[in-house]
Homo-oligomer: A and B are copies of this chain.
């Protein structure tokens, strides 16, 4: 568990949650355990995705993947334990920061975002789509679920902890929808344009696995255009909230230009 948690990574999901709390002028400590829970779920999903029966990847974040070091059985169990622990972390948020009903809502929404209706459902669709030519709609379905739902949850969880009204939560959810798609399109572009040192795994792995990507469907220039459009729509949603969203805007800009 520690091996994969300490392997680094961008920590974009916890950052989004804390930056959302910041936008509401809230104490970021309110969200620290939920932020850790989200990163734990993300990391477990990488461990399981990297397994030989799934993506069969040897490198992650520049280090050998979990199963390469500990074997498949312990990699599966490390993931299981991390997924289980993430719910405990949220439930253990000290009562000085929030109330039990808010924590229950966070747990319910996390389960939806990470489970069969969300991230796991996206991974199932991804596997089903392998070696098939996907339409843009199929590809979006995969990314909205596999990556998007947990990114959206990161922002929504911050808003829930800030006791935001439902209409503001909805607007932030739409912001995160565009951010999530932008994030994934940038990922696809990096797989073509990046270097192994930049992205911590071999470049061109999507192509060699015959995976459909935004550039393979839209061309590289087309993918960059769609990326830019999602970034603009994300920022528009941020403006709509009327909150102090500087930090969230900076993260949004970073996602368009990131090299890893």
Contacts and interface: CB of A to CB of B under 8 A. Distances in A.
A136 interface: no
Given A53-B72, A83-B83, A84-B83, A108 B124 contact: no
Given A88-B112, A115-B88, A127-B74, A120 B80 contact: yes
B88 A123 contact: no
Nearest to A121: B81
A101 B93 CA distance: 12
| Range of interface residues on A (Cβ < 8 Å) | 35 or more
Contact of A77 (B72, B81, B108, B123): B123
B51 A76 contact: yes
A168 interface: no
Interface in A29-65: 48, 51, 53-54
B77 A120 contact: yes
A133 B47 CA distance: 31
Contacts of A1: 116
A201 B101 CA distance: 44
26 contacts: A1-B116, A51-B76, A53-B71, A53-B72, A53-B73, A53-B76, A54-B76, A76-B76, A77-B124, A83-B83, A83-B84, A84-B111, A84-B116, A85-B111, A85-B116, A87-B87, A87-B111, A88-B107, A88-B108, A88-B112, A88-B115, A91-B111, A92-B108, A100-B101, A103-B104, A107-B107
